[in-house]
Amino acid sequence: MTYGANDMALDNWAIVDRWIAREKVTTFGASSIGFVNFGSIRDLRMGAPIETFGRGARGFNVYSGTVERAEFDRIVTHADGAVGVQISQPIGTMIVRHGIETFGGEGPSLVKGVVHNLSAMALSLKPGGSAQLIKIGGGLKTHGKNVFPLEQHGAVQRLVVDGGCSAHDSPSSM
């Protein structure tokens, strides 16, 4: 659990064979991140939810490096600009068993040292990001004015979303 702005609850800057987290990961600061990868991970397993409460926060982010396989329980964000999952580099497989859900609209977020306005999308594949397989159980859900559940600028060989995609046009939360 973290409370500061720009805090990363869990972050990787090296080469990791297997990383297993069994407890819930929670962040409360602006532009904080539940799990961020800058290195290389073969197998990442998050056995409990990732939840963020802060403008511009992200649940899971692949800025650099790669993740061969990532498995999550659930990812939830609460604030404007708080993206559920943001992928900017190639990954292998990502599985989220109980969905990705965001509560918020557009807002500022610190990305690689620069403030950008982001929408609180559930899943965002940026240019340069790609995946062999993304499988989401429980759906992609957003609750924010004009916020789409999915943004795809990169290639995905296979995308499976059980539970569908839904966008609820509710007012921003923070």
Q: What is the average pLDDT across 90-101?
A: 98
Q: What is the average pLDDT across 53-65?
A: 95
- DSSP readout, the chain? -B-STT-EEEEE-SEEEEEEE-S-EEE-STT-EEEEESSEEEEEEE-S-EEEESTT-EEEEE-SSEEEEEEES-EEEESTT-EEEEE-SEEEEEEETT-EEEE--EEEEEETTEEEEEE--SEEE-TT-EEEEEEEES-EEEESTT--SEEE-S-EEEEEEET-EEEE-PPP--
pTM for the whole thing?
A: 0.94
64-73, 103-112, 149-158: least confident range: 103-112
- Could you tell me which residue, 86 or 109, shows the higher pLDDT? 86
Q: What is the mean pLDDT of the chain?
A: 94
Question: Would you say residue 7 has pLDDT above 70?
Answer: yes
Question: Would you say residue 157 has pLDDT above 90?
Answer: yes
